[in-house]
Chain A
């Protein structure tokens, strides 16, 4: 049985924030003709032709600058990172290599791929979600956290 943490559940900000993410992906698609897949946009900088770099860097720059602009208007929401440095490094490596082998992450496969009814993206999304569920289960309930 699944116990829902009603106190943690934030349906309205989740839907609203999600809609904003959808709008961002729509802007990139309808104006620039590109998929808002963050791992692909970032990873592509490493190999892209010179003319292809500015739009990629601009998108990544937008993500990096978002908190600063947010802070002009409101206080930043909490960002709690409880994993220790060794785990952070291993996780980063896995996310880097995994998203490139799998050609996408939560944004490219999970948001854009599912929005265009791609079976490939559905398989990828179900796979990384299952892997995420299993990993957290092992870490939190079998080993009892780091």
Chain B
């Protein structure tokens, strides 16, 4: 119960951060990605602000054997830089540049009742399901 509650809280605070920073607005994100236009560096500062706090949290996590709720830390173990990482990131970046949405902002904009964000999230879920389907085919080979 506490586990789900902390998740909900984290989601709410994350969403508030996206709204305050302007990152829930695709036009502002595109203003960052448009380096040949009038460039808006805001997104870089959003990441800097988040990482400054994140570094401390991961430091604290590194000194502990379990979380404040007594759970195991589940951190990614993969270290390899492979084709999947690069090709996946290229596809994601292309989609991000087309609409100005990445997953978090799309969910927040959907929560704000934006129709296009709802369509985006449905298409995104479809893309994720497609990935799972392709992975199953790959596993069978």
Contact surface of A with B, Cβ cutoff 8 Å: 2-5, 7-11, 13-36, 38-39, 42-43, 46-47, 54-56, 58-70, 76-83, 85, 87-103, 105-107, 109-116, 118-120, 123-125, 127-137, 139-141
Contact: B128 with A21, CB < 8 Å? no
Complex Cα distance, B3 from A27, in Å, reads 11
Contact: B7 with A32, CB < 8 Å? yes
Number of A-B contacts (CB under 8 A): 504
Complex Cα distance, B52 from A67, in Å, reads 25
Q: Label chain B's interface by main secondary structure.
A: helix
Contact surface of B with A, Cβ cutoff 8 Å: 2-28, 30-31, 33-43, 45-58, 60-61, 66-69, 71-76, 78-81, 84-104, 106-114, 116-117, 119-132
Complex Cα distance, B46 from A67, in Å, reads 19
Contact: A101 with B84, CB < 8 Å? yes
Choice from A14, A20, A124 contacting B89 with Cβ under 8 Å: A124
Complex Cα distance, B50 from A16, in Å, reads 9
The 4 A-B pairs at the shortest CB distance, nearest first, are namely A62-B11, A96-B127, A66-B15, A18-B49
Contact: B38 with A10, CB < 8 Å? no
Contact: A63 with B11, CB < 8 Å? yes
Known contacts A55-B7, A97-B130, A131-B92; decide if A30 and B60 are in contact (CB<8 Å). yes
Residues of A within 8 A of B116 (CB): 81, 83, 85, 88
List 8 additional A-B contacts (Cβ < 8 Å) besides A62-B14, A111-B50, A116-B58.
A5-B37, A17-B21, A24-B10, A27-B10, A93-B126, A101-B85, A127-B93, A128-B89
